[in-house]
A and B are shown apart, each in its own frame.
Chain A
Amino acid sequence: MTAVSYLTAFAADAAAKEPAVFPPLDTWHFPSQIFWTLLLFGLLYFMLSRFILPKLGSTIETRHSTIADNLDEAQRLADEADAGQKALEVRMAEARAKSRETADKARAKIETQINAETAKVDADLATKLDAAEARITHLRDEAMSNVSQIAADATQAITDRFGVKTTTAAASSAVGKALDS
């Protein structure tokens, strides 16, 4: 037995069993179908539009507005943070400028002080040097005169030892001559 014969047998059987009207086109239930469809559709419409959809809609609306509000708040806080950052930067720059100015002032003051001190010390040193030089010259001159005195004395003494009598003046002039040459 092939599948085709099953099909034909099936169709024949179906035709034999259902000689009556095709159910969807049977008219006896039309009033009932129309009535119940309208009633149940009306019920569903009433319940959905009156109770359920407004609730669903308001939930979605609330979520949207909450998200929007939160985003706005976040934006506001970000703006605030930006403003704070900018203010901070301005103040930092101000402080830096001020500190530079203070440092410059201090440096200038110290420099003038150093210059004054240095000049004072230099002057002091110069006078001291002059005094020292004068003293040295004086001492050297003194020493030099002492040397010629001692040399004259020594010459007198040496000549005495040789048995030659010399005067102090002669010894002095001889020493002077020797020293000058």
Chain B
Amino acid sequence: MNQFFGGAAANDPISQFKIKSLLDIDVAGFQLDFTNSTFWMVVGVFLTLAFFGVAASRKALVPSRLQSVGELGYTFIADMIRGISGEEGLKFFPLVFTIFFFILSANLVGMLPFAFTTTSHVAVTATLAVMVISIVIGYGFYKNGLGFLNLFAPPLGDMHPIAKFVLYALLIPIELISFLARPLTLALRLFANMLAGHIILKLFAGFAVMMASAGGLLIFGAVVSFLAGATINALEFLVAFLQAFVFAILTVIYLNDALHPSH
């Protein structure tokens, strides 16, 4: 049996998420090591900066391909924000743009063989989610003052006072819970998607290798497993884009609540 697991580290679908410290850094008792996760995050950020840096440096009236793709990303995010919260929402354009491309680059870098997927760690996605919600709450109170609390008690219009009271008694807890669930779902959706995708990829690839090395009729199983893995791989690219998009669009929707709290 052990021959199949000779390279146990390579076949085990979980060890790809293991964090290894590359450089020990201790600041005030906090262990802020530079890890393999950090390294690939740096790679993603660097690639994003390099791509848009080059795209922005070419200010041609008729854009080259690279400049065109860069501007496509710009208008894509800008149109998304405009569609949801109008021209007013554009003050958050750099933030949403950064969120989208930070996550997209991390997801796509994770698709490289042997690379680490930083977004498959709940610590990373939760940090981003909490940051977004903090900005929503902070900006909501800064702009609307206590009027931001209208978010939890939307106007009901003309209504009998008792009916109003009953409705609010039901509505406010629901709104509160749904608001509190936002950072949770935001963080878990991205985390779970990236984690599950990479586990499945690793499983199919591992099966293919195991069955192929077993030989005999299992070779066919290996072929099927490999093809399934390749298909899932294509799907994962879609998921990488989609999850970045979902995170960004939800960020815009939540920011829109801060801009216009009375729904």
23 A-B contact pairs sorted by A residue (CB < 8 Å): A10-B5, A13-B5, A13-B8, A14-B14, A24-B120, A31-B31, A33-B38, A36-B35, A37-B41, A37-B118, A37-B124, A40-B45, A43-B45, A45-B95, A48-B98, A48-B101, A51-B56, A52-B56, A53-B74, A55-B57, A57-B74, A59-B56, A59-B63
Q: Give CA–CA (A150, B12) in the complex, Å.
A: 167
Contacting A56 at CB < 8 Å: which of B60, B74, B102? B74
Q: Give CA–CA (A43, B46) in the complex, Å.
A: 10
Please name the residue on chain B nearest to A50 by beta carbon. B94
Return A52 CB to nearest CB of chain B, in Å. 5
Stretch at the interface among A60-68, A127-135, A168-176: A60-68
Determine whether the beta carbon of B61 is less than 8 Å from that of A62.
yes
**Cβ-based interface call for B214 (8 A):** yes
Stretch at the interface among A1-9, A74-82, A106-114, A140-148: A1-9
Q: Give CA–CA (A31, B34) in the complex, Å.
A: 11
Return B37 CB to nearest CB of chain A, in Å. 6
- Chain A residues with CB under 8 Å of chain B are 1, 3, 6, 9-10, 13-14, 17-18, 22-26, 28-38, 40-41, 43-45, 47-49, 51-53, 55-60, 62-63, 66
**Known A45-B95, A49-B98: A24·B56 in contact at CB below 8 Å:** no
Determine whether the beta carbon of A44 is less than 8 Å from that of B101.
yes
- Chain B residues with CB under 8 Å of chain A are 1, 4-5, 8, 11-15, 17-19, 21, 25, 30-35, 37-38, 41-42, 45, 48-49, 52-53, 55-57, 59-61, 63, 67, 70-71, 74-75, 93-95, 97-98, 101-102, 118, 120-124, 127-128, 131, 191, 195, 206-207, 210-211, 214, 218, 221
Q: Give CA–CA (A167, B17) in the complex, Å.
A: 177
Determine whether the beta carbon of A36 is less than 8 Å from that of B38.
yes
Main SS of the interface on chain B? helix
In the A-B complex, the 6 residue pairs with the smallest Cβ-Cβ separation, listed nearest first, are A49-B94, A33-B123, A55-B56, A23-B17, A45-B98, A36-B38
Q: Give CA–CA (A9, B5) in the complex, Å.
A: 10
Determine whether the beta carbon of B94 is less than 8 Å from that of A24.
no
Determine whether the beta carbon of B128 is less than 8 Å from that of A29.
no
**Known A30-B123, A52-B53: A9·B74 in contact at CB below 8 Å:** no
